[in-house]
Structure formats: C-alpha cells, structure tokens
Amino acid sequence: MSPTQRKLPFNLLKKHKSLRELVRESKLKIVNMEIKTFHFNPIMVNTYILSDETGEAVIVDPGNCQMYEDEQIREYVAAKKLKIKYLINTHPHIDHIAGNPWCVAEYHPQVLMHEAGMPIYKKARAYAVAFGLEVENMPEPDHYLKEGDVVTFGNQHLKVFYTPGHCDGSICLYSTDNKLIITGDLIFELSVGRSDLPTGNEALLQQSIREKILTLDDEVTILSGHGDPTTVGRERKENPYLVR
Ligand SMILES: [Zn+2]
C-alpha cells in the first residue's frame, strides 16, 4: 500500500475499492490496524489476524485444521514478525476453534472466550467428528471475557459485546477507533446466524443484533465469521432476515 493510500481514512478508501475487492486481496488495511483474513476448513470460516505497527497481534477464530492451513498462518506471522498476544474465539463452534490447539502450541497466546460457551467448547472433539474433522484436545481458556471488557494489544482496543442467539458464549469484538466489528456468526452480509443448533435462540439472536449491531453507526464495517465484509448501514437497509 502506498504512503498516500495509507493516510486515507477507510471510508474514503472504500470509494476507491469496494469491500469485496479488498477482501479478494484478502487483506484490509483500516486506519492503523491491519487485518488479514484466512478462509479455513471445509466450513470456510473467516480466521482473522489483527495487528498494528507495534507487532502485537490477536488471532480470532483460528479454524485451521490442515497442515497447509497452519503453514499459511506461520508464513504470515513470520513475514510480519508478529507476536500473537491473544487467541479469541467469538463462539465455541468447531469451525471457529479447530485451530486452537495448534495456535497455542505454536505461539502460546492467552486464550480468551466467554464462559457461557464452555459446555460446547468442552465437547469440541465430539462435534468435530460430526463434521468429519479430527482435532486435538482443546486448550483451557486463560481468561473469560464478558460484556464491557476491553482487550488491548499494541495500540488497539477491542470492546467485548455479549451477543447470544447463535449459541451460548457468542461475543462480538468492536474497535471504536477503526469503526469495525467482528461478529462471529451473529450477522453476515445479507444474512444472520443460524439459531437451530444447540443453545441457539432466534429471539435472542434478533435482540443481540438490534441492541449491539444496529445501535452502531452506518459506516461501521462488519467482519463476519463467514463470507464477505459488509457495513452496519447496508445491513440496516437491506438484510432480509432482520425483524424490524
Ligand atoms: Zn461458523
């Protein structure tokens, strides 16, 4: 990215390139946070590595479960000389946690998630078999995140929203400075998360979206657990699954 582009605020950059184009490059540079997106495992989860100029980084929802996927993370982290400070799971579904054992063995980050997801997290290996995946024992979380917590790495701050509905223990991570929110499987581009899996609850899902997503500004970027990025404004206007 050229120095002139770097100075542009993200909403100006958007006029230049669509979000879809940025994602095709698989890399979004938003103000001072760099976001790398990987698409891992047969369920095509979005695994995000967030970092900034300090070199500190956070990995969100590592879904890697094949050696070639591990290698993609290893290459990126080495090339950028990143220190993975935290591993955060937005929720305990197997596609979002499959890479936890590898990431912890490789980088020793602190593992953070919401406590309400623990019953599902503890059954990870059983769920993995149902999806034809084989995973090692899941590492124990180092800390539980709750509503209102702020996770800090480098010069970045991620505010934790508790957003149940897809399953217990679902959280969103909101960067006020960068006007972006990582939503896990709560909301997607023109869709919403499933609520028919264990501990799913449609009314709660709609409530979480209404109270935690639609209260944000239109220009806030949404980075979902699957699919392309979108914005709060677009979903407010066009998402056919929102109960209005
Ligand atoms: Zn998912």
* Dist. CA 89 → ligand 1 center (Å): 11
Task: Say if residue 94 is exposed, middle or buried (CB neighbours under 10 Å; 0-12, 13-18, 19+).
Answer: buried
* Dist. CA 184 → ligand 1 center (Å): 7
- pTM, two decimal places: 0.87
The 10s digit of each residue's pLDDT in 110-123 is 999 999 999 999 99
pLDDT at 20 over 80: no
pLDDT at 21 over 90: no
The 10s digit of each residue's pLDDT in 179-217 is 999 999 999 999 999 999 999 999 999 999 999 999 999
Q: Residue 205: what pLDDT?
A: 97
Chain length of the chain: 244
* Dist. CA 156 → ligand 1 center (Å): 25
pLDDT at 15 over 60: no
Instruction: Give the strand pairing for 180-184 and 110-114.
Output: unpaired
CATH for 3-238 is: 3.60.15.10
Bridge partners of 34?
29, 51
* Dist. CA 38 → ligand 1 center (Å): 13
Mark residue 241 as left, alpha or beta (left: phi above 0; alpha: psi -120 to 50; beta: remaining).
alpha
Q: What whole-number distance in Å separates Cα of residue 11 and Cα of residue 31?
A: 10
Give the confidence band of 30 by pLDDT, cuts at 50, 70, 90: low
pLDDT at 81 over 60: yes
Q: What whole-number distance in Å separates Cα of residue 206 and Cα of residue 194?
A: 11
The 10s digit of each residue's pLDDT in 125-159 is 888 888 788 888 999 999 999 999 999 999 999 99
What are the domain boundaries of the chain? 3-238
Q: What whole-number distance in Å separates Cα of residue 235 and Cα of residue 187?
A: 9
* Dist. CA 195 → ligand 1 center (Å): 12
* Dist. CA 66 → ligand 1 center (Å): 17
* Dist. CA 2 → ligand 1 center (Å): 34
Average pLDDT, the chain: 89
pLDDT at 244 over 90: no
pLDDT at 61 over 90: yes
The three state secondary structure string of the chain is: CCHHHHHCCHHHHHHHCCHHHHHHCCEEEECCEEEEEEEECCCCEEEEEEECCCCEEEEECCCCCCHHHHHHHHHHHHHHCCEEEEEECCCCCHHHHCCHHHHHHHHCCEEEEEHHHHHHHHCHHHHHHHCCCCCCCCCCCCEEECCCCEEEECCEEEEEEECCCCCCCCEEEEECCCCEEEEECCEECCEECCCCCCCCCHHHHHHHHHHHHCCCCCCCEEEECCCCCEEHHHHHHHCCCCCC
Taking CA atoms, 203 is separated from 73, 119, 206, 208, in Å, by 37, 21, 5, 9
* Dist. CA 21 → ligand 1 center (Å): 23
Query: Which residues have beta carbons under 5 A from ligand 1 (an ion)?
Result: 95, 185, 225
